[in-house]
A and B are shown apart, each in its own frame.
Chain A
């Protein structure tokens, strides 16, 4: 112990039985630059205090100084693992604010890309959860599949991570000719991969023992903290905005909403794991029903929404992604606020992380599935 540390120890009455450990901002398991101040009693965590904002980049202030179309590339950087879905949510908000009708084909394209993005995002979550629990192999497996999805995205948009592909009013480019065949081939190839994950993770007794009954979040607390997405469903509430507050054309597809019972890490794992199956179903149906036609609707020369405000929410891979836009009638939004699911979901960590072991904090954090780009904005 250095003299300074000695002093700190004196000040805080710190003993080895009760010590403070800073997890992050540089730590392999905080999925970015999250900092958790852990109060430890031996190995038991008695208190978790999250410190966020290390990745804050004035997203909302920048948005106020850009015209509506210029914001799209910035939304990519929110949840950089699900850029397509951020685009989706943002353009949907502006379209509803102005009242633009999106062509049928563009809606189908949005759903196909959005659901592929959901699979890709859940794959990253699966891989990193595996890493957090010491299972390295699942990480490589998940990334192998994700690469294929990124290949598809690249063939459509030319980008692999930050696509900026959705446009207000529709889509900028049609699918390339080979896309439909490629996408079908990918789905056929991907479906048998899912049981492989089960063999590596779900059926593994060590994994089960590690996560079952861990970080329980009951339905009442979940609603109190406005938890959304797979985390809310794991707590036993059948709530999916694609079904309960349908946007785009989600009301046309058949899919199940997986629900957990106890809201522990295992339930969150299973919900996301089954959601991948469901997303595959949606993509298959959308590919089946993809109509020909226009891909971008009729737009005014200058996008000037009427004075007013709107809050629109979509079901991003992490939960309820909301955009609150206030327009003063000019080309730029007067106020542009992002309600990011990871930000809200992370706020419950002090509640569910209390009383577990250090190793469990890592697993619980992994099961919340945060992306710091979105938390800090």
Chain B
């Protein structure tokens, strides 16, 4: 499937859930709504994108949102997919994709650990890189740690 076909297929199936789409080379990029994210990702998996390369979280502090980015690809076709989902910063809950791709397990734990995004339906959502009693989400742009000494130029 070419990127155009993928975009068309998703758009026709979940018309109002796709906020924006773009084609960049072999990569189809989509911004989608949080409510339908799981269904759209499941549909993409059904199209043969069974390889979840990466799951990243980005802090869009300007708009008060957190962004979850899924990089999908397939081992049988050159097309790649990039899906962005935004969740509100105050209550960042999104459906977990672990049932679709097991590899999302650790990626989602990392996103939870670093950005505080809660993944609904994750089998074992614990902190992964920081210690269990860590306070705060270090990769958020407004993260402050009172132990950090502010830098003063000499």
> Which residues in A have their C-beta under 8 angstroms from that of B82?
309, 311
A224 at the interface (CB under 8 A from B): yes
B75's partner among A223, A337, A377 (CB-CB below 8 A) is A223
Q: Are A377 and B103 in contact (CB under 8 A)?
A: no
A207 to chain B, nearest CB (A): 30
In the complex the two chains form, is B78's CB within 8 Å of A245's CB?
yes
> A335–B56 contact, CB under 8 A?
yes
Residues of chain A lying within 8 A (CB to CB) of residue B44: none
Question: What sequence of 0s and 1s flags, for each residue 303-335 of chain A, a beta carbon within 8 Å of any chain B beta carbon?
Answer: 000000101010000001010101000000011
Residues of chain B within 8 A of A61, CB atoms compared: 138-139
Contact assessment for B103 and A224 in the assembled complex, using a CB-CB cutoff below 8 Å? yes
Does any Cβ of B come within 8 Å of A225's Cβ?
yes
B interface size (C-beta, 8 A): 28
Tell me, yes or no, whether A226 is within 8 Å of chain B by CB.
yes
| A58 within 8 Å of B (CB atoms) | yes
Q: How far is the CA of A221 from the CA of B105 in the complex (A)?
A: 14
Contact A376 B71, CB 8 Å, known A311-B53, A337-B56, A347-B105: no
What B residues does A64 contact at CB under 8 A? 139
Specify which chain A residues have a CB less than 8 angstroms from the CB of B103 in the assembled complex: 224-227, 344, 347
With both chains docked as a complex, state the minimum distance between the C-beta of A164 and any C-beta of chain B, in angstroms.
23
Q: How far, in whole Å, are A344 and B129 apart by their CA atoms in the complex? A: 13
A53 at the interface (CB under 8 A from B): yes
Contacts A53-B131, A61-B139 given; does A326 touch B58 at CB 8 Å = yes
A102 at the interface (CB under 8 A from B): no
Instruction: Point out the residues of chain A lying under 8 angstroms from B129, CB to CB.
Output: 52-53, 56, 376-377
Which residues of chain A are near B53, meaning CB under 8 Å? 226, 311, 313, 320, 322, 339
| Binary CB contact string for chain B from 132 to 154 against chain A (1 if under 8 A, 0 otherwise) | 00000011000000000000000
Tell me the bound Cα distance from A324 to B27 in angstroms. 14
Interface residues of B (CB under 8 A from A): 50-54, 56, 58-59, 69, 71, 75, 78, 80, 82, 101-103, 105-107, 114, 127-131, 138-139
Q: List 30 A-B contacts (CB under 8 A).
A: A52-B128, A53-B131, A58-B138, A61-B138, A221-B102, A223-B50, A224-B50, A224-B103, A225-B102, A225-B103, A226-B51, A226-B103, A244-B75, A309-B82, A311-B53, A311-B54, A322-B54, A324-B54, A324-B56, A324-B69, A335-B59, A337-B54, A337-B56, A339-B53, A339-B54, A343-B106, A344-B103, A344-B106, A347-B102, A347-B105
